Amino acid sequence: MKTKPVIEICMGSSCFSRGNALSLERVESYLQKTGLLEEVELKGRLCTGNCASGPCMSINNTSYSQVHPDALEDLLRYHLDARNPEAS
């Protein structure tokens, strides 16, 4: 059985004020639009101390910092597209 991809979004106040509130909305919208909402584990995580590099998130244990909400769709497509051999 294949494990679900995991998206973790920092819920710390610094990351949220820097754009993760919008990022969360965009991730949920993308997952709904692509029919992947039930296929992906989306969860919040506590602050990891990278506040100066926020907003922070990870997709399948690959960490990203300074994530702009407009770049999310490309990141999600890269990690979640079944045709991408590097996606898991």
DSSP-derived 3-state class of residue 62: strand
Give the total number of structural domains in the chain: 1
pLDDT score of 3 more than 90: no
Residue 55 lies in a domain: yes
Residue 1 lies in a domain: no
The residue range of the domain holding 74 is 6-80
pLDDT at 28: 96
Cα separation of 72 and 52, whole Å?
19
CATH of the domain at 76: 3.40.30.10
Q: Angle at Cα 58 formed by Cα 77 and Cα 36, nearest 5°? A: 40
Q: 0.85 cut: is pTM over it?
A: yes
pLDDT at 85: 57
pLDDT at 41: 96
Position 48 confidence tier, pLDDT thresholds 50, 70, 90: confident
Residue 65 lies in a domain: yes
Residue 86 lies in a domain: no
